[in-house]
Chain A
């Protein structure tokens, strides 16, 4: 199901599906921010692709949704 989700471009070569996953879980940005103990703006920036999370936050996000990091974040090498 996740593979059908649209992905957000993050920088040059990393994409994420955070917005889609969050909406699937029926969560607001505020709820996810509170659960992950980050600011709402951080969630917004992640979803908009303006900010790359640390590996720690990436793990926290993936663990929170019971997914692997690769399910949420996709790294694509430039060709």
Chain B
């Protein structure tokens, strides 16, 4: 039954809450025991806290929503989620997003080199290479599967 998939997604949501809680606790404890000696490290711990809080809030809200939403509505949501036209729309949108991010990384790399920001330039070029490698690996994987 399709509704079983919703129950399965609850497990992922519980996992999300647990990961979020770990990240949140790490950020808070790290800040309290002053793991951060510099401003940017303090900001990093704040990012862990923020990310953790977001995961916990998202997971909790979704879990409550799944619990109190009618089965019919959940089933309709799953139909919409797995609907083949929606899946194709999502894939097309992801493709365009990926092309846009590739162009953005390339532009950033040129801008950073022009500004003599070596480290950000290498990060932008590295991100481009990671995109190429991920594309190659996923292409090989799906070529073998299909």
Majority secondary structure of chain B interface residues (helix, strand, loop or mixed)? helix
Q: A7-15, A17-25, A37-45, A69-77: which lies at the B interface?
A: A37-45
Q: Judge if B97 is at the interface, Cβ distance under 8 Å.
A: no
- A53, chain B: closest CB distance, angstroms: 7
User: Which of A42, A45, A53, A57 has the most C-beta atoms of chain B within 10 angstroms of its own C-beta?
Assistant: A42
Q: Judge if A54 is at the interface, Cβ distance under 8 Å.
A: yes
How many residues from B make CB contacts under 8 Å with A?
8
| Contact status B2-A38, CB under 8 Å | no
- A50, chain B: closest CB distance, angstroms: 9
| Contact status B2-A39, CB under 8 Å | no
Interface residues on A, range: 10 to 19
| Contact status A54-B84, CB under 8 Å | yes
Binding site for A on B (CB under 8 A): 2, 79-80, 83-86, 88
Question: Can you add 8 more A-B contacts, CB < 8 Å, to A42-B84, A54-B84?
Answer: A38-B83, A39-B79, A39-B80, A41-B85, A42-B85, A42-B86, A51-B88, A56-B84
